[in-house]
Every structure is written in C-alpha cells, then in structure tokens.
Structure 1
Amino acid sequence: MVNSDVVVVGAGIAGLICAQRLRQMGHRVIVVEKSRGLGGRLATRRLSSGHADHGVRCLEVQGALTQGLIDRLCKCQILQPWVDRIHTFDRSGILHLDDSPQPRFTSATGITSVAKFLGTGLEIWHGQRVKGITATAQQTWDLTLEPTGAPSASRLTANALVITIPAPQALALLEPLLHQGLAPDRVAMVRSVKFSPCITSIAAYSAVQQPIATSLPWRAVTFLDDPDLDWVAIDSSKRPDAPCPTVIVQSTARFAKEHLETSDLQRVGQQLLERATVLASWLAAPEVLQVHRWRYAFATQPLPVDCVVADYPLPILCGGDWCGGGDRENGDFDQKHAKFDTRGLRIESALRSGLSAAEQLGMKFQGISLEAASQAVSLSNLKVGAMLAETIDQI
C-alpha cells in the first residue's frame, strides 16, 4: 500500500493543473490515470504515417487562462499558430470563410504535448482504474485500483481526494459513499451533469493525395445544421513536413447517439467519410481508417460552480471541464443538434476548476474547513490568471 497527501483521479487538464499547484505547495500528489497517456480529450493518435489529434481540435483563446497557457506554450515552442479562419459549410452546401480572425494553435508533435507539459514532474500512475473508494477509521481515503495496463500497487491511501474524470464516471465512485456520510446534495450535483457523445474518424491517405490536399481552399470546416457532420479537418496541415494527408472527421452528437453502441465502428467511421465527400470525393477512400468513440465528449449541462466540494467524511473535491457552466450561458449550445462549437469554454473551465480545487484544498491543509475555504475562494479573472502564470512558470 502506498500513502499520499492527495490523490488526483484523472490526468486531463483539470487534474494535471490541480496536481501541479498542490505539488508546488509542498504536498505529495499522485495522479491516477486509467489510460497509457495524458490529457483526456487532449488526445493524439499515433499512425504509421505520423499522428492526428482526434479529440480537442486545437487551442484558442477562450479567456485569461487559455491566453496565459497559449502564450507560455508558444514561448516554449510547444504550440504554433495553425489557422486564423476556418470555413463553415451551410445548409445550402456553400462554404463560407469566417468573417473575423480567431487564431487557432496546435503542436507539430500533437495536441497531447500540452498535457505532457502540464504533467512534467508529477507522479503519475498510468494504466490504473480506480475501482472503489472507502473512508477508513484512520481518517484516510482507501482507493482500490484495477490495472488496465502494467500491474502496480492495488491499494492507495490519501488524506484528500480530487476527482476530475467525467461526471458520470465520478458518480459511480461517489454513490457508494453515501452510506459513509457523503452529502447527498453533492452527489446530486454531479448526477445533474449531462454529456453528449462524439464519434471521430481518423483517416490516412496515400502520399499521392498530398498535393491535392495542400491545394484545397480549406484546412478545417464546421458544419451548420448537418445531422451527421460537425467537423472535418486536414489534420496533417498542422505539420508542414507531413508526407501524406491525414483527415479528422467528427460527428454530431445526434449521429453519435445513434451509433454509440455499435459493434462495427469501422462501418460507422466509413459512413462519416462518405458524408464528408461533399468537400472532396477522395475522402471516401483512405488507406488507413481508425475510429474513436468519445462517450463523454461535451458537457451539455455543466455545473455553474468551479468544483464540487465535500468535507465529510473526508476531503473530496470533484471538477473538470463540466464545471463552470460557461457554454450554455454564453449561447454556444445548440439544443437542436446537441453540440458545442469550438468557441465554448471547456478548456478555460477545466483550468479554472483545477486551480480552484487546489486552492481550496491548500486552505484545508492549513486548518480551514472546506466549507469556509469554498466561501473564501472567490477567483477573479485577474487572480486566477496570476495563479496559472505562477503554476506554469514553475513547471
């Protein structure tokens, strides 16, 4: 059994920035992540011809936190500018270029490079799923782990717990704690969060197609009121030395819900490519096709708070990009087709949620109750921006 001050469940943006902040406060922090990589939906798929970003498409400024992160990553040459304008394919089949520029940033080595930067110096246990949580008589959290990759310790204890996985997965860990005194209203808050899915086709093409791909008038296209397609991008355009075209096609939530439980994802992925031929006929004939199912792609009903906090029976906080609630309040949510555009506040919310959780837990370790800490922590944009700058400057 291994003991830690804090265990963070989930190595997405919120979990990583929270763990960094707590580590820099002097606490021992262990991040438990079920997959082999980092970043959650900051995901890059490796291909024989290179790689492709099949989750988060790119980074763009959504507020003070994303601005600070992008500035620092550009300075470190981890991020580079990609496009200032993207196209929209409207319901009449016409492509329109964005009227106003909105710089988008990517990494030549894949968007997961952002997560690798945020994970620098952290103790991360990969390939470990948290199967259960129990509060012990010794006033610690006891976590039972189930290896999804390389075996490691099957038990882990901590004085405090931060859960930053998608809300439905967090709920499965929280509900058994109700009989140990976890406040029902906190569990109800997590239960109220709703997500929509997405299916992503990752397609690689022959090098013969590279001149054709580079001559296209668009690099990325969003679809307006399409029942199936949400996004198509020449992902290889993020890398000037790419030997052949790689294309990402992402579905609407409506399409994903219809096909989410299918046993033949290849067929569904091919269907998306065939729909994308409205942009270029050769998209239907890849040399390689991989398909990824994002069950929890977009928080369609997020919480209005930065994180969910409970102080009994032991400190436990929950957060992620499903906190903050900015998307619906800013009108980015399209109820008819259940999707978010790329101007949503997901990454901004994730950073804010992780920093807020760390700040409140830091106060708890100084002897302040989480209830008092939650009331005391009022993170203005200026303050939270300074916290992020201080945190990433020490990475």
Structure 2
Amino acid sequence: MFNETFHKNHIRRIAIVGSGLAGLTAAIKLKQQGHDVTVFEKSRGPGGRLSAKRVDGGSVDMGAQYFTSRNPDFLPFLTEFAGEDSFATWNGQFGFQNKDGGWQAFPDEPRYVGTPRMTALSRALSVHANVVAETRIESLVRADQHWALCDINGKLVGEFDQVIITAPPAQARDLLARSDLPELAAKLDDAVSRVLPCWAVAVHFDENPWPRHNGMRCDHPALFWVANNSSKPGRKSASQEHNGAWWVLHANPEWTGRNVDASADRVTEELVAAFRELTGTTAVATQTVTHRWLYARSEGGASPGHLWFQEQAIGIAGDWLSGGRVEGAFDSACSLVAACADNQVSL
C-alpha cells in the first residue's frame, strides 16, 4: 500500500534519483523537515547540467551558462547552503542577434555563475546531503509498504517510503516503465517529446576572437549560444590574464538533431567554422573539448511545477517542469516538497 498519509513530523526514508539542483534542493528541504534522505547519482559527482570540464588553466562550463534569480528565496538558499563565495554576478556584455544579423543588447538583468565553475554550486550543496555516487537506479520494486531500489547490477540499494525522481523526463519515464508503472510513465510522453539535444564545444584561442560581447544568443544555422567562458568571474588568476580565452559554443537543436550521431571531431570542426563565420575571426583554435547533451533543455508544454503521485508516493521534479531555467529546478523542488508535506495531488 502506498497511500499512507505523509506528515511533516513523521520521519520517513526518502530516496532521490539524480543530484542536480532539483535533487539537492529537495534533499536539503526534506532533511530540514527531519526526514532520512538518500540521493543516488549515476555519475562520479553531483551537478546535472551544472557541468564543467577541466582544461589547461582551469575549467569551462559545458552545460548551463548562467542563472537568474527571479524567486526571492533562491539566492538566500544558495548563500545559506552553498556559501556566498560559491557564486558571483557575471557582469558581461550580452548580445542578441536579429534575423538580419545585427546585434541588440540583452535585457538588463543580473546573471550569476558558480565560481570558479558552475559545478561549485552543486558540490557545495551536496555537502548537506547524503549522496551515493556512481549508482544508477535501474528499477523501483514494491516491497510491502516500501519501495525497494535496485541498481543496474540488480543489487538492492535500500528500501524507502517515498521516491523523488529528478532525472530528465526521458530517463524518468524509462525508470517508471522498468518499475511496472506504465500509467505514470505515459504521463511523461509529451515532456519527452519536447526535450532538445545540444552539441557543446569549448574552444581555446590564444587571443580573444570577439571582444565586443561576453555572451551571445545567435540566429545562425548551426549556433544557438556562444560565450567567452574566460570572462566569467573566478575563471582566471592574475597569472593567466594573457593566456588567451576559452569560448563555449552551443549548437542549436535543429543542427544537433541532424548531427546527433556525428563524430566529435566533425562536430568540433563544423562548429568552430560556424563561430568563425559568425564573428569574422581568423583566430586559430589551439585546444578543444566536446560534449553531447541528449537532454539539454525543454521547450514548450505545460509547467505544473512538479508531479506528485500520492497513491504511489512518487514525485518528479526538474527545471523542465518549471520553465526550463536553472532557477526552475529550485522552484520545482520546493513546490514538490510542499506538495508532499501538504498531501496535495498534482497529476
């Protein structure tokens, strides 16, 4: 049976699948309520799309490029649990490309980044959670009044009263389907169809090839976003000021879709050529790093904030349920935790 009433003061064992911002926020909020929470992460460390790759002289942000704070509770939460030194304002010049190829300024809004890399946020938040890394959850199995979680090797990793899934919608749907929950899995079909892929390439130049902007939303057949990663706060030490610049290039979903199975070498070659075409630079790339995001961001569809299946005691949270921005992951987790505590059903 899975329809037991959830009480704020009743300590429960809760499993969270995924240690991105939504998973870590939910873990911290639930721990504050006194619950016993375990976060399972398939990778070596937390982060989700708050991703960075190590490169010579530092790192580059391959996933989310920055975040905003329209929810007045978001920055205080980060300050309390990640620390005020874990993020800073990115005071860059940002351009938006018109259909005619001209540039206009982005809306004037504070933009923040993790320091010295985006993963600094998730690493700091994870200190406040019990994160079990390198553990991919394969299925949820009913066991009396609990959920038994099994990894890809069929090993039981624990029994829990409730499960919260914060993986991308395609992975969440697959997990539910493997857990003999087809009706719940079907509720994610539309969300899965709206998730867009993205090829990302980080490129180092000995000299900054485009000093006009630090970040640009492009209207280009191949490129969606390009940014001077080295312009972000905390990315360069005084000794590195003249060691060139790392730029991050994000392909648009259409181009990525056509080239989703292309080799990393070909993707790198074509996106660097597209960047040269966009900026007119003749600068030579000296180093590159490439990453393919199959689940980069969600576009359109409903934004209910979260999904909470009270009868099964399963919740789903993620930025794709709350507008798609980084901040949306925080909003989604907070709304799900509140729904669990108040016994609200949001199907």
Superposition TM-score tier, normalisation by shorter sequence: 0.7 to 0.9
- Determine the C-alpha separation between the residues in 2 that align with 1:134 and 1:122: 24
2:193 paired with 1:187: no
Change (3 A) 1:71 1:282: farther
- For 2:86 and 2:309, how far apart are their aligned partners in 1? 37
Paired amino acid for 1:374: V
- Please tell me whether the aligned partners of residues 192 and 301 of structure 1 are also in contact (alpha carbons under 8 angstroms): no
In the TM superposition, what is the alpha-carbon distance from 1:78 to its structure 2 partner?
1.8
**Pairs within 5 Å for 1:57-68:** 57-68=65-76
Query: Is 1:229 matched with 2:223?
Result: yes
- 8 Å CA contact retained: 1:22, 1:29: yes
For the residues of structure 2 that align with 1:96 and 1:301, how far apart are their CA atoms?
Answer: 25
Q: CA deviation at 1:173?
A: 1.2
Partner of 1:266: 265
Secondary structure, aligned partner of 2:136: strand
Counterpart of 2:110 in structure 1 is: 103
Q: Which residue of 2 aligns with 1:349?
A: 328
Change beyond 3 A, Cα 1:66–1:155:
closer
Whole-Å Cα distance in 2 between the matches of residues 24 and 233 of structure 1? 37
Map 1:190-229 to 2 at 5 A. 190-193=188-191, 194-206=194-206, 209=207, 212=208, 216-224=211-219, 226-229=220-223
1:220–1:233 CA contact under 8 A, matched in 2: yes
Paired residue for 1:315?
313
Rounded to whole Å, the distance in 2 between the matches of 1:155 and 1:305 is 31
TM-score (norm 2): 0.85
Letter of the structure 2 residue corresponding to residue 190 of structure 1: L
- Give, as a single letter, the amino acid of the residue that structure 2 aligns with 1:86: F
Cα displacement (A) at 1:89: 3.0
Aligned to 1:167: 169
Structure 1 SS opposite 2:188: helix
* Pair 1:24–1:245, CA change in 2 (3 A): same
| Cross-structure match for 1:387 | none
Matches within 5 A, 1:73-152: 76-83=84-91, 85-98=93-106, 100-136=107-143, 138-146=144-152
Q: 1:63–1:282: structure 2 CA closer, same or farther, 3 Å change rule?
A: farther
Please tell me the residue identity of whatever aligns with 1:201: V
The answer to whether the 8 A contact 1:84-1:102 is kept is no
Give how far 1:220 is off. 1.2
Matched AA of 1:23: K
Q: Does the CA-based 8 Å contact 1:65-1:351 persist in structure 2?
A: no
Q: Deviations over 1:72-110 (max 9, x none)?
A: 689712222212540123333333333x42222223310
Task: List per-residue Cα deviations over 1:173-197 (Å, max 9, x = no partner).
Answer: 112444xxx582x433222202011
Q: Which runs of 5+ in 1 are unaligned?
A: 327-344, 364-369, 376-395
Which has the larger helix fraction?
Answer: 1
* Aligned 8 A contact 1:310 1:316 in 2: yes
Higher mean displacement: 104-113 or 67-76: 67-76
Distance 1:28-1:276 versus aligned 2 partners, 3 A rule: same
The percent identity for this pair of structures is 23
SS at match of 1:127: coil
